[in-house]
């Protein structure tokens, strides 16, 4: 059973785009608020990164 792909940001509702991150590979990214969604964690806004 496959996991459905998210199309919109859980934080702001903007359509997500695919970005490549060196350590995580391709992830879904929100260009408006900077939230990243990979298959291993929930959507995390850029402001929460340390």
pLDDT digits 0-9 by tens, 1-41: 566 677 898 888 899 999 988 887 888 889 999 888 765 44
What's residue 32's pLDDT?
92
Show the tokens assigned to 18: 């695919």
Do 18 and 26 form a contact (C-beta atoms < 8 A)? yes
Distances (CA, A) of 7 to 11, 16, 17: 12, 6, 8
Q: State phi, psi for 48 to the nearest 5 degrees.
A: -90, -10
pTM for the predicted model, two decimal places: 0.61
How close are the terminal C-alpha atoms of the chain, in Å? 34
What's residue 44's pLDDT?
54
Do 5 and 39 form a contact (C-beta atoms < 8 A)? no
What's residue 46's pLDDT?
57
């Amino acid at each position: 059973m496959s996991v459905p792909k998210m199309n919109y940001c859980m934080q702001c509702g903007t359509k997500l785009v695919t970005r490549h991150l060196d350590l995580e590979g391709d992830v879904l990214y929100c260009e408006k608020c900077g939230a990243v969604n990979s298959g291993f964690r929930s959507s995390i806004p850029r402001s929460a990164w340390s």
